[in-house]
Chains A and B, each alone.
Chain A
C-alpha cells in the first residue's frame, strides 16, 4: 500500500556499512554516541536545572553536575510556576484546543478527501486543484491579513469579531489541505469495487465512508493525527496575536509571558519541562508511528 516505502521505523537495510574496515565501524560508533550527547544533553540540562535554584544552576555549568540532580535539589521551582501563573488553566486550554483541532480535523478532512477520491461530481478536479494549490502558501503569509479578517467576521453570539476567543484558536486550523491530500492518496489506493459492492447492498455513501473506508484507513488516520498534533500543541504565533485574555492562553504563549515575568531560569526550565516531558513520553511510546508519519509526509516530493 501507500505506506510501503515509508516504513522507516522498521529494521533498516545496511547498504553503507556492508563491509567497512573495523576501524571505520568503531569510528562511526563514536560519532553516533557524540551526536547522542549533542541532542540529549541540552534536554537533560533543562530537566535538571528545573530542580535547582539559579545559583546552583550557574555553579554547576562548569562540570558534569549540570546534568545530574545534585546539590540544592527541590521541586520549589515547580510550585513557584503554579503560584505565579494559572499553569493548569493554560495546560487545559492547550489540551482542549489540540484535541478539537486534531479530532475535528480528522473528521472534516477525511470526509472531504473521501468525496474527492471516491465520488464523481462536476468541478471535482478544480476543487482538488485549488486545495492542493494552497499548500504552497505558508501560514506566515496569510497570518496578518487573517488577523484583520477574523476581526470582521460575525461571531456566534451576534457580535462582530473573533479576536480573543476560544474559537479563533482552533476553527481556522480544522480544515487542512495537507491532511486532505494524505487522506486522498490513501483512499485513492483502496479498491473502488468495495464501494460498488456496498452500493448493491444498499449502503449510502455516508455508510461506506464510516463503516468501510475509515476502518480500513488506520495508518492514514494515525499519520494525519500525528502530523496535526505537533503543530496544534506548539501553536505560538497565532494565539500570541489573536488572544489577549490570560485565561484563554495556550501553554506556549503562557511560557513566553512567564519568561518575561521572571528572571528565574530554574522556574522557566520547570515550566518548560512541564510542557515538554508529556510530549516526549507520548513520542517515545509511539515513536514508530511518529517516525513513519514524518517519513510519509516527505513522500509527496
Chain B
C-alpha cells in the first residue's frame, strides 16, 4: 500500500480490499498447518544428521575433555576434573606443538594471503591467455594434499629436484625435511604452493566487485599504479581481506595432513602440531578424553582468531 504511516486522513479500506484480505487470511491459516507438516519433512533429515554428527560431537568435545574417556573401553568415562588440562600444560610436547602451530600460522597467513593477492592482481587483466594462467595457478588446489605431500617429499629429498635446482645458483641445499631447522619451513612453502590458488580466486572475486568508475576517477586525478592500489583497491577489499585472513588462519591451525604424510611430527618434534598430537593421542593411543582437551585448545585458538577478526572489522558489520 502506498499510504504513509501517520498520514493525517487515512482512507478507509474499500470493500474490495477487505474481501481480498480475508481471503488471504483464510488461505494463510489453512496453509499454516500444511506448512508446518511440510517443513518438518523437509528440514528434519538434515537437522537430524547435523545433530548426531556435528552438534552432539561438539558438545562431547567439551564434556569428554573433563573425563578419562577411552576409545575402546569396557567401562564408561569418568569425570576427572581438570586432570587432562593439568597433564596437557605440564607436557613439553604440547607446548612445542602449540609453538609450531602458532608459528606456522603467523608465517603462512601473510605469505599466502599476500602471494594470492599478487597472483590475483596479475591475472585481473584483459589479455590473451589470462584464463590459461589462472587455470594453471589453480591446479594444485584441486590436487589432494596427500598427493601434494608425497610429491614434495620427493622434491625435498637431499638429492632431489629442489636441491639440484638450487645447486645451479651455487646453493648447497639441506636435507629439508630431515633437519629440525628447515622441516617446518619446508612444509610451509609446500602448503602455500598448494593453497594459494584458492585464495587468489577469492581475492579476484573481491577485485571484480570494485566499480570501474572508481579507477576512472582515480585516473583523472592522476593516480599512479601504486596510489590506485593504495587508495582504491586496498580499502575496497576490506571484507574479502577479513574472510581470507580467517580462512587461512583456521586452515593453518588445523595443520595435520602434511605432517602425517611427510614427517610424523619429526625431526625432534619440530613439526608436531596441535591437531597432529590430538590424532596421535586420541586415535593411536585411544585416549579420547585427553584428545578432547587438545581439540578444545585448538577450538579456542580458532575462536579467538575469529573473534579478533570480527572485532577488527566491526564497523563494516554494523553499517550493513
Contact = CB atoms under 8 A, between A and B. Distances in A.
A112 B145 contact: no
A46 B291 CA distance: 36
A43 B143 contact: yes
Given A206-B38, A230-B142, A14 B151 contact: no
Interface of A: 5-9, 11-18, 20, 24, 28, 31-32, 35-36, 38-40, 42-43, 45-46, 49, 57-58, 61-62, 66, 108-109, 111-112, 114-116, 119-122, 124, 127, 130-131, 134, 136-138, 140-149, 151, 153, 171-175, 177, 180, 199, 204-206, 209, 230, 233-234, 236-237, 240-241, 252, 255-256, 259, 265, 268-269, 272, 275-276, 279-280, 283-284, 287, 290-291, 294-301
A268 B152 CA distance: 12
Given A45-B161, A272-B150, A291-B201, A148 B233 contact: no
Contacts of A236: 144-146, 257
Contacts of A43: 139-140, 143, 151
A66 B162 CA distance: 11
Interface in B136-177: 136-147, 150-152, 154-155, 159-161, 164, 167
B243 A140 contact: no
5 contacts: A42-B151, A131-B47, A142-B60, A145-B60, A276-B147
Contacts of A265: 154
Contacts of A180: 46
A144 B142 contact: no
B210 interface: yes
Interface string B18-57: 0000000001000110111011111101111110111111
| A-B complex: 10 closest residue pairs judged by Cβ atoms | A115-B42, A112-B46, A175-B49, A144-B282, A205-B38, A298-B202, A295-B205, A172-B53, A145-B60, A142-B57
A40 B202 CA distance: 21
B292 A255 contact: no
Interface string B198-221: 100110111111101001000100
A130 B69 CA distance: 27
A35 B137 contact: yes
